Amino acid sequence: MSMSPPDLPETIPALAAYRDWAAVYDSNENRTRDLDAICLMAAGLPLAGACVIELGAGTGKNTAHLARHAARIMAMDLSPEMLARARERGLGEHVRFIEHDIMQDWPVEAGAADIVVGNLVLEHVRELGPVLIRAARALRPGGQLYLSELHPFRQLRGSQARFDRADGSAARVEAYYHGVSDYLAAAAAAGLSLLKLDEPIEDGRTISAETPPRLLVLQFVKTA
pLDDT in the model for residue 106: 96
pLDDT exceeds cutoff 70 at 7: no
Give the pLDDT confidence of 25-51 residue by residue, as tens digits: 888 888 999 999 999 999 999 999 999
More confident residue, 19 or 81: 81
Give the pLDDT confidence of 107-145 residue by residue, as tens digits: 999 999 999 999 999 998 999 999 999 999 999 999 999
**How many contiguous H segments (helices) and E segments (strands) does the chain have?**
7, 9
Q: Where are the beta strands (DSSP E) in 62-202?
A: 72-77, 95-99, 113-119, 139-150, 162-164, 170-172, 192-198
pLDDT in the model for residue 117: 98
pLDDT in the model for residue 211: 84
pLDDT in the model for residue 136: 98
Domains detected in the chain: 15-222 (3.40.50.150)
What size, in residues, is the chain?
Answer: 224
